[in-house]
Amino acid sequence: MSKERKGWTSTAVVDSNPYSRLMALKRMGIVKDYEKIREKTVAVVGIGGVGSVVAEMLTRCAVGKLILFDYDKVELANMNRLFYQPHQSGLSKVEAARDTLIHINPDVIIETHNYNITTMENFNNFVDRIRHGSLTGGKVDLVLSCVDNFEARMTVNTACNEENQVWMESGCVPPLVVASNIDEKTLKREGVCAASLPTTMAVVAGFLVQNTLKYLLNFGEVSMYVGYNALQDFFPRQEMKPNDQCDDRFCRQRQKEYKAKKAAEAKVEVAVETKEEEIVHEDNEWGIELVDESKVEESKTTVGNGLEYAYELPKENEVEIENDRNGKHRLDEL
């Protein structure tokens, strides 16, 4: 099933333009060139509670191409996940997602893969699609991990580190299984996922897509980690500390490359700051100066020609002498 693609026909902010609200971001100065989203390819791994909503949001945001990976089928128990519909029960999740997404925005190219990426054969295919899946036949622009088990997360991690591919992770429950060294295959998963509330899925998906847009369109600050505690309603945010003892040699290599990149960026920033400090405001008869409001500096003691202070602040030694005199007068009075 397919629909006719309308294409990106206008950047005008008018009611008849389906991308009107997106173009408003450009007019407001938030995004410099939103049209570049049409050139981007995003791979979404796991089209469940979070992944399906992420795919829908990116489709509405007019990303150029989506590559969907999942091997599960839609069940009636999935109906609380905001996306699937009862009549899609029994379909593969990627097939059901594609059928829905092409009706939402036929301009987006949807590529689907119905297999388990953790097997050796499928892993090689998965890596190949990361390497050659973009609109131009090159690497995809971003991989989003929306899986619900540690084995699949590590598979995405391994593939992306090997290919030097940027990816973002998401999830709805703490990694208690990993911390406890429990074999997750021995756990009964039926009915225990308290994070399956549609509200939780929507919040996590929103965070992930927001970070995705900031990364793809180069605006705002891309967060290293953003969390959400649904029971107590707070949003922790922190930097991620790399594990320099990681067993994955590709991971250690990427860490070295990242540190070298940060060191080079720091040198550039220092050079730019030094250059800016050398800029001096032109002298003028009124004594007007440019002031950096980000720093607190002492007041200048000079004034322009023809002007003078109504009074001057006493020097520190003069204040001490005056205090000593006042103290002696008080003693004489006593």
Query: Catalytic residues, which ones?
Result: 193
Amino acid at 50: V
Residue 219 near residue 145 (C-beta atoms within 8 A): no
- State the pairing for strand pair 109-113/65-69: parallel
Question: Do the Cβ atoms of 54 and 146 come closer than 8 Å?
Answer: yes
Write a three-state SS string for 31-99: CCCHHHHHHCEEEEECCCHHHHHHHHHHHHCCCCEEEEECCCECCHHHHHHCCCCHHHCCCEHHHHHHH
Question: Which amino acid is located at 94 in the chain?
Answer: V
| Helix ranges, the chain (H) | 20-27, 49-60, 93-104, 120-132, 150-163, 176-179, 198-217, 249-277, 316-333
Helix (H) or strand (E) holding 168: strand 167-169
3-state SS assignment for residue 211: helix
Tell me which residue has tokens 């892993």. Answer: 123
According to DSSP, the residues that pair with 167 across neighbouring strands are: 143
Tokens 């500096």 found at: 297
Strands 167-169 and 65-69: unpaired
Q: Which of 132, 141, 129, 137 is nearest to 94 (CA)?
A: 129
Q: Which tokens in the block code for residue 288?
A: 């007007």
Sign of the torsion formed by the C-alpha atoms of 328, 332, 333 and 334 = positive
Cα distances (Å, whole numbers) of residue 326 to 109, 311, 312, 320, 334: 86, 21, 20, 10, 13
